[in-house]
Amino acid sequence: MRGPRASTAGRPGSIEGMTDTTSRPRVFSGMRPTGELHIGHLFGALANWIRLQDEADCIFCVVDLHAITTKYEDVGSVYDDGLLMLADWMAVGVDPARSIVFRQSDVPGHAQLHLMLSMVTPLSWLERVPTFKGQIDELGEHLNTYGFLGYPLLQTADIVLYRATQVPVGQDQLPHLELAREVVRRFNHMFDRQVFPEPQARLTETPLILGTDNRKMSKSYGNSITLGASDDTIDTLVRGMVTDPQRVRRSDPGRPEVCNVFSYHKLFDAPADEIAEIDAGCRAATLGCVDCKKMLAARVKDRIGPIRERRDALLADPAGLEATLAEGAEKARAVAAPVLADASAAMGLTRHD
Ligand code: TRP
Ligand code: SF4
């Protein structure tokens, strides 16, 4: 049979051909392996992922191929960074027993579906994705490649290979999700069947987290507290934090609302009564910045210490991490197989009824 079938598009969880009968939505998200993760990731994307594991069937992917779209001239660290990132994920609570956790290049369906989707994707759609020209302007002409142009289409393939309907991402990824939805609509329309559901972005509500120097948190600035930071590193970073610039002398009253140290106290879950004490002490100049920072450093060390220990234990056993990825890839391939079969049939590559 060829011809329109009853449309179930746009109704997550009721997609034709989906085998699971649970009503939990399927979530897909990915992160490029680019080195150690920091508290920006912890309180942003990862906190969200960990929460989602309770309410959705989650698939989390180490997108190493995406990393290579920008790092192809220097791929030396991609493999190790992937294992490092997995250890960071697991140390904070991403759970391979409950979620599918795997590495993109271990599941060839990503590359295969990317190629298939590329047949129906007008070049102009990719050229107008703002990150394409933006990143070339920012990072250079070496990004003017076929692979980098296809970055958001590979991302589309990542998501729809599992018929995921919800995609937790930050604001910067919205144009990529819009492209994914357009490509899905075009594919389904072109081949006259609802092969893929349209994925929805699920915006991560991230508090704005500045680096310890009040600039944007970035590895190259050395202003971020990483998930593997030692107690000494934490002490040094916190001691150097920028405070209220108007508080020059210890006796000057401070303004906690403009102070990043105060934001960090809240970020690291200081209890309400301690927040109130710091607020009052700062304004009355009864609390000095040195002491305020000592309290913060203790709080950060309490939080990061156990994460660092779990992470180091995981990293001490690379074979164990590889085994986790291998299991994840097997599960991922099983979910992807019927979708690839449907897409191949829809495109006329295999026989279909
Ligand atoms: N482009 C995403 C980022 O830089 C990473 C990514 C790749 C992704 N594939 C994905 C995110 C699929 C969500 C879903 O953050
Ligand atoms: Fe910031 Fe604390 Fe100093 Fe107030 S006392 S300015 S909150 S570091």
Residues 29-59: tens digit of each pLDDT? 999 999 899 999 999 999 999 999 999 999 9
Percent of the chain with pLDDT over 70: 93
Atom number, ligand 1, closest to the C-alpha of residue 45: 15
Q: Judge whether residue 7 has pLDDT over 90.
A: no
Q: Judge whether residue 19 has pLDDT over 50.
A: no
Closest-approaching ligand to the CA atom of 148: 1
Distance (Å) of CA 157 to CA 104, 108, 245: 11, 11, 48
* Tens-digit pLDDT profile for residues 320-329: 999 999 999 9
Question: ∠ CA(291), CA(292), CA(297), 5° rounding?
Answer: 95
Please, which residues have CB within 8 angstroms of residue 267's CB and are 6 or more apart in sequence?
Answer: 39, 43, 207, 209
The ligand 2 site (C-beta within 6 Å) comprises 243-244, 247, 254, 256, 259, 261-262, 278, 282, 287, 289, 292-293
Mean pLDDT of 109-131: 97
| Cα–ligand 2 centroid distance for 41 (angstroms) | 25
Confidence grade of residue 22 (pLDDT, cut at 50, 70, 90): low
Strand order in the sheet with 57-62: 100-103, 57-62, 26-31, 166-169, 200-203
| Cα–ligand 2 centroid distance for 114 (angstroms) | 51
Residue 15: alpha-carbon gap to chain centroid = 25
| Cα–ligand 2 centroid distance for 221 (angstroms) | 23
Q: CB–CB of 180/159 below 8 Å?
A: yes
CATH of domain 219-313: 1.10.240.10
Question: ∠ CA(335), CA(336), CA(339), 5° rounding?
Answer: 110
| Cα–ligand 2 centroid distance for 204 (angstroms) | 29
Mean pLDDT of 320-342: 98
pLDDT at 279: 98
Mean pLDDT of 201-214: 89
324 closest CA partner among 158, 112, 91: 91
| Cα–ligand 2 centroid distance for 280 (angstroms) | 10
Atom number, ligand 1, closest to the C-alpha of residue 158: 12
pLDDT at 9: 40
Q: Judge whether residue 132 has pLDDT over 60.
A: yes
Distance (Å) of CA 28 to CA 122, 150, 298: 25, 19, 35
Top CATH class of 26-209+318-346 equals alpha beta
* Rg of the chain taking only CA atoms, in angstroms: 23
86 closest CA partner among 278, 329, 343: 329
For ligand 1, whether the C-beta of 63 sits within 6 Å is yes
pLDDT at 76: 87
For ligand 1, whether the C-beta of 169 sits within 6 Å is yes
* Stretch(es) of the chain classified as CATH 3.40.50.620: 26-209+318-346
Distance (Å) of CA 31 to CA 2, 25, 140, 253, 298: 38, 20, 22, 43, 30
Q: Which residue minimizes the CA distance to atom 11 of ligand 1?
A: 30
Torsion sign (Cα): 245, 251, 257, 261:
positive
Q: Judge whether residue 173 has pLDDT over 80.
A: yes
Closest-approaching ligand to the CA atom of 203: 1
Atom number, ligand 1, closest to the C-alpha of residue 168: 13
Q: Judge whether residue 13 has pLDDT over 80.
A: no
For ligand 1, whether the C-beta of 29 sits within 6 Å is yes
pLDDT at 353: 63
- Please give the single-letter amino acid code of residue 314: L
Q: Given ligand 1 and candidates 28, 89, 110, 176, which is best to mutate, with the most ligand atoms within 8 Å of its CB?
A: 176
Confidence grade of residue 220 (pLDDT, cut at 50, 70, 90): confident
* Tens-digit pLDDT profile for residues 284-294: 999 999 999 99
Q: Judge whether residue 197 has pLDDT over 60.
A: yes
Q: Which residue minimizes the CA distance to atom 9 of ligand 1?
A: 155
Atom number, ligand 2, closest to the C-alpha of residue 241: 8
Q: Which residue minimizes the CA distance to atom 4 of ligand 2?
A: 282
Mean pLDDT, the chain, whole residue set? 92
**How many of the other CB atoms lie within 10 Å of CB of 272?**
8
* Tens-digit pLDDT profile for residues 136-169: 999 999 999 999 999 999 999 999 999 999 999 9
* Stretch(es) of the chain classified as CATH 1.10.240.10: 219-313
Q: Judge whether residue 72 has pLDDT over 80.
A: yes
pLDDT at 205: 79
The encoded tokens of residue 43 equal 């309180």
